[in-house]
Structure 1
Amino acid sequence: MASKSDVIPAILVLKQVLVPDDGTLDAFTDFQGVPAATQDTPIAFEASVEQVQLPQAEVLLHASCQGKVVTCELSHLNHVGQEDASQDVAYFISTIHVSGGEFSISMVIRTLGRAREGAPLHPQLHLPLSPRGTVLASVEFQVMTQKPSVQASIGASVFLHCIFSLSPGSGPFHIEWRRQYQGQGQRVYTWATGHGQALREGAWLESRALLESGNASLTLPGLTLRDEGTYICQISTPRHQVQQIIHLSIVETPKVRLYLVSETLPPTLFCTIAGYYPLDVTVIWHREEPGGAPTPASDAYFSSHRRSSVGTYSLSSSLRAEPGPKGATYRCQVSHVSLTDPIISEIWVAPPEKGTPLGFFIATGLFFLTLLFLGLRRC
C-alpha cells in the first residue's frame, strides 16, 4: 500500500492506438513531449500498443466529451529478471477506469531501455529519456472488461466480460476466476493447457473464443444469492499476472399492492411490499384531497422484515385513513436500489356516507326493545 508521499503525478501517452475515425480526430492535438525533466516534472510514459490489441479505445478517446472522468494509476513491478536489469528495463502496471462503470483496463508496460548511448536519465526513475523527455515503453499485456459492475436477478444467467491480449512470445497463459464475498474467497473456474474446470456448478467459458480472440468471459447460469460478490478474472503468464475485478450484485424488484382492509370508520389501508433484494427499502405514505397538494401521511405502522426461502424480503405497512368530507387519495410510495423511479400505488378513500346518524338507530333500537320487554312482562 502506497502512502501519500509515494504518489507522484505522471502522464501516460498511448501510441499507435487503432480507433474508428468519426470525423473528429483532426481536432486533436499531437502530444508535444515534456520540458527538461526535473524533480517536479511529471513522469511521462510514451507507450506503444502495437503488439497488443486495445479494444474499445474510443471510450477513452471521447470520455471527456461525454462528461466522463478517466482515472489512471501506474505502479512499479519489482519482479524484473536479470536479463532486463542489465538493459535498464523496468516494468509498470497501469490501471485505467472510466466513470459510469463502462470500461476498465489493466496493462503491463515495459520500458525500452537506453535508446542511444549517453541518453539522459529521469532524476527519479533513473530510466533513459527520449529526445521528447519521455520514458519510451511498450504495452506487453492487457486485461480489460466493459462491465466492471453487473446486476442480475435470482435464477437468471449472467455474463462476466473479460478479454485479454498478449504480445508475441509471452508464453503460455493460465486463467483463474475467483469470487470474494465478506472476506471469504473461492475459485469458480480455471483454464490451463487447453482444459477448463468448473468449480461452481454450471460455470463455463467458450474455449474457441478464448483461443481465437482472448475472450475469457465467464457465464454463470441459475443465479442464487450465494453467487453475489466480487469476481476476479486473473490471467497469468510465466512473467506476469494481470486481473480485472467485476462486482456482481443480485437485485430483485419489489412487488407493491395497496388495498382497503376495512371500510368501517376509520377505514384502514394496507400496503404490502414483497420479493425485494437487497434489504434496504423505503416506504412513504402521502394523502391528497381533491384540489389540494400531496402531504405526508403520518402514524403509519410498519411490520418487521420477513425473509422467504430464496432469500428475498417482504414488508407490510398499514395506515388509518382520514378521508375528510370530500374524500382523499392515498399513495404508498416504495423506493429501492433496483428501481430507477419509485413505485407508487394509490387508492381513493370515499368520505363517510351522509344519512341518519348511527346513534339515532342505536337509540331507536333500544327504545323498541324496551317496549317489547315491557309488553312481554304484562303477558
Structure 2
Amino acid sequence: MPCQFTDEHVFKNVEGHTETQLIHREALLQFGQIGDAAVNPHGITFLITVSKLDLRRYLEGVEAEQLECELRRYSTAGIHVRWPVLGAREYNHWFTFTLKHTNGLFRITGFLRHPSDTAAPGQQDYNSWTPIGDREMLVTTTAMVMKTLTPSVRAGLGSKQKLHCQFAVDHHGPNFHVEWLLQQRGERTSLFSHSSRSVQSKGSGVVHRSLADGDASYTLPFTKFSSEGTYICSVSVLPLFVSMDIVLQIEEAPRVSLNVGPTLTLLEGGEQRVTCEATVTTLGCGDRVDPVVAGQRVGAPLPEKLQNVLLSSHKQQRQEVLADAFFYLRLHSSTREGSSHAQYPITRRRSRQVSWLPCQFTDEHVFKNVEGHGDSAHPQKGLLQFGQIGDAAVNPHGITFLITGSGAEQLECELRRYSTAGIHVRWPVLGARKYNHWFTCTLRHTNGLFRITGFLRHPSDKAAPGQQDYNSWTPIGDREMLVTTTAMVMKTLTPSVRAGLGSKQKLHCQFAVDHHGPNFMWSGSCSSVEREPASSVTAAAQYRARGPGSYIGAWQTGTLPIPFPSPSSAVKGRTSVQCPCFHCSSVWILFCKSKAPRVSLNVGPTLTLLEGGEQRVTCEANSYYPLDVEIGWYMQDPVVAGQRVGAPLPEKLPNVLLSSHKQNNDKKYSLTAFFYLRAALKHSGREFTCTVSHKSLRVPIKKSFTLTVEGEWRRAGIIRLLGLFVMMILASIKC
C-alpha cells in the first residue's frame, strides 16, 4: 500500500538554533520475503518480512484504498536494548507506522524494526539519521502493534462504554507497562496503570486477566458530562513507547415540552405566550401549519416558519442543559382555524434605545437534599424595563426589574442574584439607603459584537443575614416589580479575537461606576491550554489607582486596554484573558491565534500526459494554525463552468488520500491530499482544483491545473512527420 514517509533533516539555522525540516517522501509498504523485488522501483520500499507478529492479520477484509498510511523515524533517545527475537542483530533502526481507516472504523499504530550492525550515535540520534535513498528498499519486521476499534466514541448520558485498546509484541513474555490517561482542558489524570514486571496495578477499569492476551480495553460503567474528553491508551516495551488517543463525546437527545396542550383556544384579540422547552440540547421551534393544507398529498406548501421567535440563552443546571424558545400569539379575525399569526412586541425603540427586553432570571433556593448536600436551582422568566419609579410593568404576568435613570443596548440577557458574603458597604450615591440587594446582569450581542456585564442595585432597609446570605434570600413574587438602578457596568468590544501570528492585539475592556472617584482594583490573568504535552502558561498583574503612570489616564476614563504582544509559541492553543475591574465583576475574552495555510501543488498550471499514463498529484497545505483544515480535490470542464445558467457543480474526486496532520517545530501544522491521475482522452482539457478551507480564511484557497491528454495516434503521427522531414533533408543533401 502507498504510504507517506515523513523524513527529518535537523540543522543549525543562522541564529545557531536547532531546527527540523520535515521532508515528505513517497514510500510503499510491501509484504514479502527477503530478496523480493520492489513493486515500485521508483520509490522507497519498506519490505515487511514474516515474523511472529503479522500486521496483515489486523487488516483482514480491508482494501488498501480504504487506508491512510504514514511512516516516521523513531528516536530511542540513546536507550539501547537488544531486541529478544531469534537471529536479531545487536542494533536496530526504528520506524513508527500509523494506519487509519478512511471511515473511522479503526486506527492502528506500531513499530517496524530494521536491523543494523552500527550503534545509534547517542541520545540525540535524530541529529544524524542514517540517510535513505530515493529508491532504497529497507527490510523490516513488525515488532509491536496497537489497535483500537473505537477511535471516536459518541455516547449518551448514563450509558456503559468500552474503549477498545489492543496490543501485541513479536516475542513471548515481554516486560510491558500499560497506562490509561484522561485529558481534559489540557490537564491529564491517570485512570489506570499496570506493570508486568512488578505485577502491580493502580486504578480500575481494565480487566487484569485480559492484559496477558494484549487486551487493555477500558470500561466506563456510567457516562456523565464529566466523562467527556480524550482517553489515552499507552503501552511501553523498552525502548519503545506507543500511545493511542480515543475521543469520547457526550450526546443526549432533548426532552421537548410545550406550555400548552394539543389544542389552544383563544378569544379574538387575546394574547398567549407559547413556549417550547428542550432539556439537554438545543432546539428548533416556531413553525405554523394549516392542518387542512398539510393533509394534501400533492402540492402541499412547506410549513411557514414564525419570524418573531426568541431563544433564551442555554442554562446549565447540575447535569442538564436547558434551552427554550417562545413567542406571543395574538389572534386576529383574519386568522383561520388551525393556523396562527404571531406578533411579538418585545422592543419599542426610541432613538435606538431599548425600553424593555426579556431576561432569564436564575433565582436560587438553597436546601438540603435527601443525601444531606446543599442544592439550588430555580430558573424563572424576568423582564428588564427602563423607566421611572411608578411606571406600570410592561408584562404584568412576570417578574420585572425596573431600571431607573439608565439605558442599555439589546442583547441576550441573563440575571442572577449576587451574594456579598456578609460584606456591608454603604453605596456612596445620593439618596441611597443603608442596605442593598444586588443582582448581576449579563448582556451578549447575538452577533458577538460585544459583551456587557454589571450590577443592578435594589435598595433595602434590611441588612443581609450574614456571610451565607444565599441561604435565606428575600423571596421574589412571580409578578413583583423590583425598582433598581445600574450601579456598575463593564463592557468589551472584543469578546472573541482571532489573531495572526506576529500581530499586535488590543483587548478592549471598559467599565463605569455610578458615583465619582470609586476605589477600584484592576487585575488581568492569562491562561492557556495546550493539548499535548499538558502545560499551562499563567501571568498575572494587579494595579491600583497609583500604579504605573501609563495606565492612569485610561483608568480615569474607565478604559483598560490590554496591549497584547506578538503571539509566540510560548502561548499556544486558546487563551482566555480575564479583565476584572472590581472585586465583583469580570469579562472573559477568548483569544485565538490563527495562521493561514500556504498551499502548493507538485505540478504546474498545465499537465500533459500520454493516454493511459499515471501521475501522482499532490496538494500540500503547510504552516497553518490551529489544526482544523479541510482539503478537497475537484474536477470540472472549464467551458461548461463558464456558463451563467445551468452550469453543473464541480465533481469531487473520490479516491483522494489524506496524510495525518504533521506538527513542525514552530508548532504550525501541515497536511497533504493526493491522488493518482490516470490519463484518459475524455478528461483532456478538464480543470482540476485543490480547495483548502481554514478558520483563518474568509474564502477558501484554490490551486488549479489543466490536464492535456495526448493519444498514441498523435505520437505516431509526430514520429512519421519527423521521419519524412529527415528523408527530405537527406534527399536535398544528395542533390
Give, in whole Å, the separation in 2 of the partners of 1:315 and 1:150.
Answer: 25
Partners of 2:399 and 2:477 within 8 A in 1: no
Q: Secondary structure at the match of 2:556?
A: helix
The one-letter amino acid paired with 1:343 is I
Q: Does structure 1 residue 332 correspond to structure 2 residue 680? A: no
Alignment of 1:319 onto 2:662: no
TM-aligned CA deviation for residue 43 of structure 1: 2.0
Residues 185-219 of structure 1 deviation map (CA, whole Å, 9 limit, x = unaligned): 723432113214xxxxxxxx951442331111201
The amino acid of 2:568's aligned partner reads T
The alpha carbon displacement at 1:311 in A equals 1.3
Question: Which of residues 193, 203, 219 in structure 1 aligns to 2:563?
Answer: 219
Deviation at 1:300, TM superposition (A): 2.4
Distance 1:2 1:325, change over 3 A: closer
Give the distance between the partners of 1:304 and 1:169, measured in 2 at CA.
59
- Counterparts of 2:405 and 2:575, CA distance in 1: 33
Q: Distance in 2 between matches of 1:93 and 1:303?
A: 50
Q: Distance in 2 between matches of 1:307 and 1:338?
A: 18
| Partner residue in 2 for 1:343 | 701
8 A contact 2:608–2:709 mirrored in 1:
no
- The within-5 A match list for 1:128-143 is 134-143=481-490
Letter in 1 for 2:557: S
| Cα separation, partners in 2 of 1:42 and 1:170, compared to 1, 3 Å | farther
* Unpaired segments ≥5 residues, structure 1: 17-29, 61-68, 115-123, 197-204, 362-379
RMSD: 3.5
**Matched residue of 1:147: which SS?**
coil
- For 1:89, what is the secondary structure of its paired residue? strand
* Displacement after TM superposition at 1:107 (Å): 0.9
d(CA) in 2 for partners of 1:135, 1:82: 21
Deviation at 1:13? 2.2
Query: How far has the Cα of 1:70 moved from its partner?
Result: 2.2
- The reply on whether 1:76 has 2:418 as its aligned counterpart is yes
Give the residue type in structure 2 aligned to 1:187: A
State the Cα distance separating 1:290 from its structure 2 match.
5.7
**1:110 equivalenced with 2:454 (yes/no):** no
Match of 1:352 among 686, 710, 733: 710
Secondary structure of residue in 1 paired with 2:699: coil
Question: What is the distance in 1 between the residues matched to 2:527 and 2:387?
Answer: 36
The higher-RCO structure (CA 8 Å, 6+ apart) is 1
TM-score by structure 1 length? 0.70
**Letter of the aligned partner of 1:245 in structure 2?**
W
Aligned counterpart, 2:547: 195
1:247 and 2:590 aligned? yes
CA offset digits 1:288-323 (Å, max 9, x no partner): 246564212132233332222321111222222234
Alpha carbons 1:259, 1:347 under 8 Å: kept: no
Do 1:34 and 1:134's aligned partners in 2 also have CA atoms closer than 8 Å? no
Q: 2:575 is matched with which residue?
A: 229
Give the partner amino acid of 1:221.
P
1:277 CA drift (Å)? 0.8
* Aligned-partner Cα distance in 2 for 1:172–1:322: 75
**Corresponding residue number in structure 2 for 1:63:** none
Is 1:48 matched with 2:395? no
Tell me what 2:636 maps to.
288
Residue type at the aligned position of 1:309: N
Deviations 1:206-241 (A, max 9, x none): 5144233111120112112443411110112xxx42
Distance, in Å, in 2 between the alignment partners of 1:172 and 1:161 is: 21
Amino acid at match of 2:681: P
Structure 2 partner of 1:180: 527
8 Å CA contact 1:94–1:107 kept in 2: the answer is yes
Q: Which SS does the other structure have where 2:436 is aligned?
A: coil
TM-score if structure 2 supplies the norm length?
A: 0.38
- Say whether 1:93 aligns with 2:440: yes
- The reply on whether 1:10 has 2:382 as its aligned counterpart is yes
CA contact (8 A) 2:632 2:652 kept: yes
Q: 1:166 aligns with which of 513, 518, 523?
A: 513
Identify the residue that residue 256 of structure 1 maps to in structure 2. 599
User: How far apart are the structure 1 equivalents of 2:425 and 2:615?
Assistant: 84
Q: Check whether the contact 2:494–2:507 (CA below 8 A) recurs between aligned residues.
A: yes
Q: CA offsets, 1:224-280, max 9 Å, x none?
A: 2443411110112xxx42100100000111111224288662133221111111112
Structure 1 residues 12, 226: CA separation in 2 closer, same or farther (over 3 Å shift)? farther
* Structure 1 residue aligned with 2:623: 275
Question: Match of 1:230, as an amino acid?
Answer: S
The alpha carbon displacement at 1:98 in A equals 1.0
1:149-170 deviation per Cα after TM superposition (whole angstroms, max 9, x unaligned): 0010111111100011122267
Q: Distance in 1 between matches of 2:443 and 2:486?
A: 13
The CA deviation at 1:353 is 4.3
Is the 1:154–1:225 contact (alpha carbons within 8 Å) kept by the matching residues of 2?
no
Go from structure 1 to structure 2 and tell me whether the alpha carbon gap of 1:100 and 1:34 turns closer, same or farther (over 3 Å shift). closer
Per-residue Cα deviation, 1:32-69 (whole angstroms, up to 9, x for no partner): 41577xxxx4221112355xxx7xx4x42xxxxxxxx5
- More helix per residue: 1
In structure 1, C-alpha distance between the alignment counterparts of 2:386 and 2:569, rounded to whole Å: 41
CA 1:9–1:107 in 2, change beyond 3 Å: closer, same or farther? same
Deviations 1:66-114 (A, max 9, x none): xxx5233333334354576995621111111111111111111111236
Distance (Å, rounded) in 1 between the aligned partners of 2:702 and 2:563: 35
Report what 2:105 is aligned to. none
Q: What amino acid is the match of 1:287?
A: M
Contact 2:416 2:439 in 1 (8 A): yes
Equivalent pair of 1:277/1:313 in contact (CA under 8 Å): yes
Letter in 1 for 2:624: Y
How does 1:28-39 map onto structure 2 within 5 Å?
Answer: 32-33=392-393
Q: Which amino acid aligns with 1:269?
A: V
Partners of 2:415 and 2:441 within 8 A in 1: yes
The one-letter amino acid paired with 2:565 is: P
Deviates more, 1:279-288 or 1:260-269: 260-269
Cα separation, 2, equivalents of 1:83 and 1:273:
59
CA 224–266 in structure 1, closer or farther in 2 if over 3 Å, else same: same
CA separation of 1:159 and 1:206: change in aligned 2, threshold 3 A: farther
Q: Which amino acid aligns with 1:345?
A: K
Identity %: 19
8 Å Cα contact 1:70-1:98 kept in structure 2: yes
Distance in 1 of aligned mates of 2:495 and 2:502: 21
The C-alpha deviation readout for 1:134-159, integer Å capped at 9, x for no partner, is: 21111111111011000101111111
